[in-house]
Amino acid sequence: MKALKYLLVFTVPLTTYISFTSTGWITYSTLIYVFGIVPLADFFLKVNTSNFDKEQEEVEKHNKLYSYILYLTVPTQVAFLIWFLFVIENTTNTVDLIGRILAMGIICGVIGINVGHELGHRSNRLEQLLGEILLLSSLETHFLPYHNAGHHFNVATPEDAATARKNEALYLFWIRSQFMSYIEAWKIENKRLKTSERSWFHHQNRMIVYTLAHIILISSIFYFFGITVTLYFLAAAIVGVLLLETVNYIEHYGLMRKKNKFGRYERVRHTHSWNSNHVIGKLVLFNLSRHSDHHYNGSKHYQVLKSLPESPQMPTGYPGMMLLSLIPPIWFRLMNKKLQEI
183-229 pLDDT, tens digit each: 999 999 999 999 988 988 999 999 999 999 999 999 999 999 999 99
pLDDT for 1 beyond 80: no
Give mean pLDDT, residues 265-294: 94
Mean pLDDT over residues 254-270, rounded?
92
As a whole number, mean pLDDT of residues 82-96 equals: 97
CA atoms within 13 A on the CB side of 232: 27
Residue 274 confidence (pLDDT): 96
Query: What is the per-residue pLDDT across 49-78, written as a single tens digit (0 to 9) for each?
Result: 999 999 999 999 999 999 999 999 999 999
Helix 206-225 to helix 125-136 angle (10° resolution) is 40
In the prediction, which pLDDT does 263 show? 87
Sign of the Cα torsion 249, 336, 42, 325 reads negative
Name the pLDDT band for 320 (thresholds 50, 70, 90).
very high
Would you say residue 256 has pLDDT above 90?
A: yes
Exposed (0-12), middle (13-18) or buried (19+): which is 200, by Cβ within 10 Å?
middle
Whole-number percent of the chain with pLDDT over 90: 93
Nearest to 112 by CA among 283, 240, 13: 240
Average pLDDT along the chain: 96
pLDDT score of 3: 93
The confidence band for 149, taking pLDDT boundaries of 50, 70 and 90, is: very high
How large is the average pLDDT for residues 292-298? 92
* pLDDT, position 197: 87
Identify the pLDDT of residue 260: 87
| Among the listed residues 33, 21, 120, 48, the one whose alpha carbon sits nearest the alpha carbon of residue 306 | 48
pTM, two decimals, is 0.95
